Amino acid sequence: MSGVPVTKSARHISAQDAADMVRSGDWLDYGAVLAQPDAFDRALSSRISDLENVSIRGCLSMRPRAVVEADPARQHVSFYNWHLGGYDRKYSDVGLQNYIPCNLGEIPDYYRRFIDPVDIMVVKTCPVDANGYFNFSAANLWHGAVASRAKVVVVEVEPSLPYVHGIDNGLHISQVDYVIDGDGHPLPQLPKLSPTDADRAVARLIASEIEDGACLQIGIGAMPNAVCSLLLESGVRNLGVHTEMLTDGIIDLYRAGVVNGSAKSVHPGKIVFSFGLGSQTTYDAIDDNSDISCQPVDMTNLPHLIMQNDRLTAINNTTQMDLQGQAASESNGHRHISGSGGQLQFIRGAYASRGGKSFVCMSSTYERDGVRRSRVVLNLTPGNIVTAPRSDMMFVVTEFGLVNLKGRSVPERAKAMISLAHPDFRDDLERDARTHGLIPRSFL
């Protein structure tokens, strides 16, 4: 590979040579999102049948994992995942991926304190820069923490990755053992989901609560991105960003001048995030852009750091809430569908921020097998994971309204949550709430 210094600590080898270093019983780390390796993954899949008991950690696979595809009976490799995407969910359903419960912002500490050093870490990076660093691009997360204890560090360089400024956003050549070439394929892009009428209604309610100078955290999905679209038209100004995930919606606000970071308390003028996924437009916008700061996830997601941003406004999705305000955002019963991510950490950080606000949003209903069902329920689906406890819940939003649960009693919460349900389900919810004592007979 031209331009890469050949040193004792960073030797250029082929992807197959790197894969040949894997031994039975090894623990590997593939990093997360845009950093997950492809050339190495395919090379390892070609010899996976020769190995036993290989374990791999990854997160949010944006492409099929060749090692998983090559071992459908799970006889040779076990894949562990910090957060499931659509591809990962399919294989989790059949037992070929294993979710690791976590608060995303704590993961660097897990690697430093609780997880044994991995045998081989392989992550995709930009080519080495003039200062001898392999930039993590738009995927900083916990990669530095893994590398600090890994026995062998391999980087798969990919010139198509945007070069992204930030804090500790890369590995120095002295930290790297081997360099392999990427496959040169275009970067995976996250499709833009078209907002529904319910998404737009929720977005209007949230957008009306966002003030000039607020600092945004935006979660994934059509509903939070609909908020960004409405903010373009709302007249709000001087917004900042301190978020886990950088989305197309945030970049749209930045390009329109609505996000400029001028009122931020921490890192003024900078869009702070830990990983980004979106369109090529977003990747182009962040490439070598000094307004962008990609930081380790323990700098973006820990509540005591989030709260240092005044007017931190957190906007996140959920899939089901009960009448007391518990949010189940990551599972459908015992079936895992995504992950805790940073939702709870941003809910807590936003509450602790001076003037901060946390919004948890959802459509009031969903349809399954041709039957419409309520997302507001008396009891969560058996087996559902509580992502955010009732005691942490602040604003809850559906297309039928916005309520603040802070300081409200159990019967007040139940009445408020029922008001957010679709009208077709409200009478049954009220009757069930009274039958089970959430709303006493004496409570009007």
State which residues form the domain around 144: 11-181
The reply to whether 188 falls in a domain is: no
Q: Which of 244, 330, 412, 430 is catalytic?
A: 244
The reply to whether 54 falls in a domain is: yes
Same domain (yes/no): 164, 203: no
Given this model, what pLDDT does residue 201 score? 95
Same domain (yes/no): 57, 108: yes
* CB atoms closer than 10 angstroms to residue 18: 24
> For position 55, which CATH number holds?
3.40.1080.10
What does pTM read for this prediction?
A: 0.95
Same domain (yes/no): 331, 295: yes
Q: Cα separation of 256 and 266, whole Å? A: 22
> For position 415, which CATH number holds?
3.40.1080.20
- Cα 2 to the center of its chain, rounded Å: 35
Which residue type sits at 183?
D
Q: Cα separation of 144 and 298, whole Å? A: 11
Residues 4 and 167: beta-carbon distance below 8 Å: no
Same domain (yes/no): 206, 301: yes
DSSP state of 139: B
User: What is the block-wise mean pLDDT of the chain (444 residues), using blocks of 10 residues?
Assistant: 50 97 98 98 97 97 95 92 95 94 98 98 98 98 98 98 98 97 95 88 95 94 87 93 96 97 97 97 98 98 98 97 98 95 97 98 94 97 97 98 98 98 98 96 78
Same domain (yes/no): 400, 262: yes
The reply to whether 259 falls in a domain is: yes
Residue keyed to tokens 């009976």: 73
Given this model, what pLDDT does residue 222 score? 82
Annotate 70-135 with DSSP letters as a single string.
T-TT-SSEEEEESS--HHHHHHHHTTS-EE----GGGHHHIIIIISPPPSEEEEEEPPB-TTSEEE
Same domain (yes/no): 122, 261: no
Same domain (yes/no): 241, 307: yes
Given this model, what pLDDT does residue 191 score? 84
How does strand 11-12 pair with strand 27-29? Answer: unpaired
- Domain end, chosen from 146, 181, 216, is at 181
Q: How far lies 76's CA from each of 96, 122, 150, 398, in Å?
A: 11, 19, 22, 45
- Phi and psi torsions of 28, nearest 5°: -115, 155
- Domain total of the chain: 2
Q: Cα separation of 168 and 144, whole Å? A: 7
Residue keyed to tokens 């978020």: 243
- Domain end, chosen from 154, 181, 208, is at 181
- Domain end, chosen from 149, 181, 213, is at 181
Residue keyed to tokens 């970049």: 251
Q: Is 244 a catalytic residue?
A: yes
* CB atoms closer than 10 angstroms to residue 151: 12
Same domain (yes/no): 325, 402: yes
DSSP state of 334: T
Given this model, what pLDDT does residue 3 score? 44
The reply to whether 123 falls in a domain is: yes
The reply to whether 354 falls in a domain is: yes
The reply to whether 233 falls in a domain is: yes
Which residue type sits at 359?
F
- Long-range CB pairs of 84-89 (<8 Å, 24+ gap) are 84/60, 84/336, 84/337, 84/338, 84/339, 85/60, 85/61, 85/338, 87/61, 87/62, 87/63, 88/60, 88/61, 89/336, 89/337, 89/338
Residues 284 and 159: beta-carbon distance below 8 Å: no
The reply to whether 332 falls in a domain is: yes
Same domain (yes/no): 386, 280: yes
Same domain (yes/no): 390, 335: yes
Same domain (yes/no): 143, 269: no
The reply to whether 1 falls in a domain is: no
Q: Cα separation of 401 and 201, whole Å? A: 9
Structure tokens at 165: 């400024």
Structure tokens at 160: 């198509």
Residues 5 and 173: beta-carbon distance below 8 Å: yes
Same domain (yes/no): 345, 406: yes
Closest by CA position to 123, among listed 170, 156, 147, 158: 156
Given this model, what pLDDT does residue 9 score? 67
